[in-house]
Amino acid sequence: MHNTRKITDDIIWVGATDRQVQLFENLFPLAHGMSYNSYVLLDEKTALLDTVDSSISDIYMENILHALGGRELDYLIIHHMEPDHCANIEAVLRRFPDVKLVGNKTTFKFLEQFYDVHVKDNYHPVKGGDTLELGKRTLKFIMAPNVHWPEVMFSYDISDGFLFSADGFGSFSPLDGNLFSDELDFDGRIKEESRRYFVNIIGKFGSNVLKVLKKLNGLPINMILPLHGPIFRDKEHISYMIDRYRQWASYEPEQESVLILFGSMYGNTENAVGNLATMLAEKGVKNLRLYDISNTDPSLLMSEMWSYSHIVLASPNYNGDLMYKMDTVIREALRLNLQNRKISFMTNATWGGAALKTMESYFEDPKHFEIVGEPVKISSSVKVDNVPEIEALADAIVASLNA
């Protein structure tokens, strides 16, 4: 049976949650599934805003038919051509052969590449700034290239200030009846999962995000309706999300504190960073976080790297170089364009290798990174003799935090 919920009298959520999926994009761990949002607008004309993933196709079609209540579908607006939002375009076309597909040139190019659909007569191409009159509501299209993929666009409902933001403002999150952030644990899970989603999905494209935020400047935004996770209608939540998007996209840290990422086979490097963390805590640093990179998902590490101002990287030498999981974490963060961070190093060698040199080489651009303190070098296990150099690093980090 259908399962829909009214957003307003004329906007109906017709999405669903896939609770069996464990990895989004077959990469990112999901705690309790993933929601795929889609919306039906009932006006003089009817519109469907995006479709959903193939995993929820069955209920999705029931939802659309129920929401339309026997009416025809005039428009399908395609904000993003990724398969988790487009897997049902062909099904919609089969059910409503005359529906107009609203998208831009790149949308239609990707549609033809992904699916064997040849329906040029159905295309309703739009550019940034174009509008679509539905009756009481008018949608204005805002191009948002690379706010994930190149074809992405947002639409803005002029009458009520509702922003349909594609993957923007999404999160790794199921929806369990409560659709709105003000019905959910906003300060806990939603904030955390919104950042993890932003960093891993959109984080690389900070400058594009900033361009779109500029286009939205001055527009009243009374509701944000993303394609994943909760809808934002609470004014404080809306401002929080827009402020965070500006901060994350500018690669500005969210907090002045220390994140410590370490690798360790036999516990000695862990012992060294544990001592560093205790010294930092004793010197007054709060909200320290320490992660073993071997058993923490990289998507969480990326999210934390976006949050913290200071990052300590600690790795043993391994086969003459950096432990490969540490190498992967650093390279992924740099691929996502992490910058504007203060970095410190710690290494452990039993006989020698290039671990430190390799880590230093990744952060040598002074425009993007500042190296804090002298690297701590452990020989196999931590000794009392190492205490002064660990303490010196803690002092340098504290001085940098207080600068």
Ligand X SMILES: Cc1cc2nc3c(=O)[nH]c(=O)nc-3n(C[C@H](O)[C@H](O)[C@H](O)COP(=O)(O)O)c2cc1C
CB-based burial label for 354 (10 Å; 0-12, 13-18, 19+) = middle
Question: 402: exposed, middle or buried (C-beta count within 10 Å: 0-12, 13-18, 19+)?
Answer: exposed
**What secondary structure letter does DSSP report for 71?**
P
Kindly indicate which of the ranges 102-110, 211-219, 281-289, 347-355 contains the residues binding ligand X, using the contact rule CB under 6 A. Answer: 347-355
Count the Cβ atoms, other than its own, within 10 Å of residue 107.
25
Among 257, 344, 348, 386, binds ligand X (CB under 6 A): 348
Q: Please report whether residue 294 would count as binding ligand X according to CB under 6 A.
A: no
3-state SS class at 330:
helix
Residue 1 or residue 384: which is nearer to ligand X going by CB? 384
Beta pairing, strands 34-36 & 16-18 = antiparallel
Report, in Å, the least distance between residue 369 CB and ligand X. 25
Q: Of 266, 281, 289, 324, which one interacts with ligand X (CB under 6 A)?
A: 266
Among 265, 281, 387, 399, binds ligand X (CB under 6 A): 265
The residue from 165, 264, 299, 303 that contacts ligand X (CB under 6 A) is 264
Using CB under 6 A as the binding rule, whether residue 295 contacts ligand X is answered as no
Among 374, 380, 387, 399, which residue sits at the site for ligand X (rule: CB under 6 A)? Answer: 380
Using CB under 6 A, which of the segments 108-116, 128-136, 238-246, 261-269 binds ligand X? 261-269
**Is the CB of 17 or the CB of 317 nearer to ligand X?**
317
Residue 269 is a binding residue for ligand X (CB under 6 A): yes
Q: Quick one: which segment of 59-67, 149-157, 327-335, 348-356 binds ligand X (CB under 6 A)?
A: 348-356
- The correct pick among 24, 318, 345, 369 for binding ligand X (CB under 6 A) is 318
Piece of 162-170, 190-198, 294-302, 312-320 that binds ligand X (CB under 6 A): 312-320
Q: Min. distance of Cβ 379 from ligand X in angstroms?
A: 7
List all residues 6 or more positions away from 94 whose beta carbon is below 8 Å from its beta carbon. none
Residue with structure tokens 């988790």?
84
Count of beta carbons in the 10 Å neighbourhood of residue 359: 22
Determine the size of the site formed for ligand X (CB under 6 A): 18
The nearest distance, CB 130 to ligand X, in angstroms, is 58
Query: Residues with Cβ < 8 Å from 223, sequence gap 6 or more?
Result: 7, 160, 161, 162, 163, 231, 232, 233, 238
27 interacts with ligand X by CB under 6 A: no
If binding is defined by CB under 6 A, does position 357 make contact with ligand X? Answer: no
Nearer to ligand X, 337 or 379 (CB): 379
User: Which amino acid is present at 94?
Assistant: R
Among the listed residues 33, 170, 203, 353, the single contact to ligand X using CB under 6 A: 353
Handedness of CA 188, 193, 198, 200 (dihedral sign): positive
**Contact range with ligand X by CB under 6 A, out of 142-150, 295-303, 338-346, 350-358:** 350-358
Cα dist from 396 to 95, 215, 399, whole Å: 65, 41, 5
Contacting range for ligand X; rule: CB under 6 A; set: 55-63, 70-78, 180-188, 317-325: 317-325
The binder of ligand X chosen from 352, 364, 365, 366 (CB under 6 A)? 352
Q: Which two tokens stand for residue 341?
A: 């961070």
- For residue 224, what are the contacts with CB-CB under 8 A and spacing of at least 6? 162, 163, 165, 169, 231, 232, 238, 241
In sequence order, which ranges of 308-386 are alpha helices (DSSP H)?
324-335, 355-362
Residues at the interface with ligand X (CB under 6 A): 264-269, 316-320, 348-353, 380
